Amino acid sequence: MKDNQAKYPQLRFKGFTDPWEQRKVSELADRYDNLRVPITASERVAGETPYYGANGIQDYVEGFTHNGEFVLVAEDGANDLQNYPVQYVDGKVWVNNHAHVLQAKEERVDNKFLTNALKHTNIEPYLVGGGRAKLNADVMMKINFKVPTLPEQVQIGKFFDNLDHLNTLHQRKLTKLKELKQGYLQKLFPKNGSKFPQLRFAGFADAWEKRKLGELANIRRGASPRPIKSKKWFSQTSQVGWIRISDVTEQNGRIHQVEQHLSDAGQKKTLVLKSKHLLLSIAATVGKPVQNYIQVGVHDGFIVFMDPKFDLDFMFYFLEKYRPNWARFGQPGSQININSELVRDLVVSIPTVHEQDAVAQFIITLDNLIAATQHKVDLLKKLKQGYLQKMFC
């Protein structure tokens, strides 16, 4: 019974009822690794042909090694062994020696179907080697999976092609929105000691005032209970979270939830914030601005701006823009380190409260668009994975 079920996918297009048959890659495709040519970055001539490696496009060059429909499968250097790099290409491409090149046999299989069939296959058991796992050519050609009739393959291939195209459109929109935000961050804040930003909203004309951050807020460093791994400091029933760098990176500085929570004993050993505050990381992910939207205890790797005389969102975005500049406080080859005094002495340009709010709300709108678009991209990726599981045996 199970063997019979394995010949039929859970979800398929109307009109297709035949069982799927087991086939090896060697029965379905020819390999064109012999045409691959690696070129070092210094020897590449800039052009319009995509230059492919194990994980996708690395550059654009003149000339080509392959012309037509192909399926590229990482040979070595894959950046994700669970979601193994497999790509469909069409047209002129240049492929180096880190990706295998397959082309479907026209009478047997559709290239787009082959691409998704390989994506659906767990490649990791076929790999050899340690740190740089490798998929040998002869092993790849022996990989086997079930395939339907060619007409059904074409239908499945088109379906996933349309899904990939939709995801690409959203991904491009996401990239453009992020670039747009970075452009506005540069123009909405003054540069090089100027008192006027390059771009302003209607109704604002006054010069921005130069102030030290220490004059605009009471800057305090967080505190950590020691030894930090002791269980007595934590309680999963507590309403007070324990903010760590991992929480910051996962939520891009906007803390709405945390993994750990502090016990009453733990809370007595740290600085507890019961309302929204602006924080700045001074260790590990240095210079990252943070805002808490829940009650949290503050790790000693952060400083907090208490009693601020500025709009929290405005300063959050200023610090986000300023973040690369903290690198000047580190020595070459060493970890960047900043402290409360450096932050207190930082001179910033600041406008009226009303202009601060206008700037902040504009960038918040962009951030919301970015978050909504990112959600669509993530949703489409999950949707594709779900369909891969249901439309293949």
Residue at 3 is within a domain? no
pLDDT score recorded for residue 2: 46
Structural domain harbouring 182: 150-205+351-392
Residue at 16 is within a domain? no
Going from the first residue of the chain to its last (393 residues), give the mean pLDDT of each consecutive group of 10, the final group possibly shorter.
Answer: 68 94 96 96 95 96 97 95 94 97 94 94 90 92 94 94 94 97 96 91 95 96 92 94 88 92 95 96 89 95 96 97 84 66 94 97 96 96 93 89
Q: For a pLDDT cut of 90, what percent of the chain falls above it?
A: 85
CB 195 within 8 A of CB 210: yes
Please, what's the b/e burial string for 3-20 (b: 16 or more CB within 10 A of its CB; e: otherwise)?
eeeeeebeebeeebeeeb
pLDDT score recorded for residue 4: 53
Q: Examine the domain organization and report whether 385 and 253 are in the same domain.
A: no
Q: For residue 148, is the peptide bond before it cis, meaning its omega torsion is within 30 degrees of 0?
A: no
Residue at 5 is within a domain? no
Q: Examine the domain organization and report whether 234 and 360 are in the same domain.
A: no
Residue 191 maps to which CATH number?
1.10.287.1120
pLDDT score recorded for residue 1: 40
Closest of 114, 95, 97 to residue 27, by C-alpha: 114
DSSP H helices in 100-205: 111-120, 137-142, 150-188
Residue at 221 is within a domain? yes
Q: What is the pLDDT of residues 238-287, one digit of tens each?
A: 999 999 888 888 888 899 999 999 999 999 999 999 999 999 999 878 89
CA 258, 263, 269, 275 dihedral sign is: positive
Residue at 197 is within a domain? yes
Count of domains forming the chain: 3
Task: Pick the last residue of a domain from 123, 147, 171.
Answer: 147
C-alpha to C-alpha distance for 198 and 186, rounded to whole angstroms:
8
Residue at 9 is within a domain? no
Q: Examine the domain organization and report whether 176 and 190 are in the same domain.
A: yes
Residue 54 maps to which CATH number?
3.90.220.20
Q: Examine the domain organization and report whether 340 and 222 are in the same domain.
A: yes
pLDDT score recorded for residue 212: 96
Q: Examine the domain organization and report whether 141 and 47 are in the same domain.
A: yes
Q: Examine the domain organization and report whether 52 and 157 are in the same domain.
A: no
Q: Is the pTM of this model over 0.85?
A: no
Closest of 102, 93, 100 to residue 59, by C-alpha: 93
Q: Examine the domain organization and report whether 355 and 334 are in the same domain.
A: no
Residue at 14 is within a domain? no
The alpha carbon of residue 175 and the mean position of all alpha carbons in its chain are separated, in whole angstroms, by 11
Q: Examine the domain organization and report whether 94 and 172 are in the same domain.
A: no
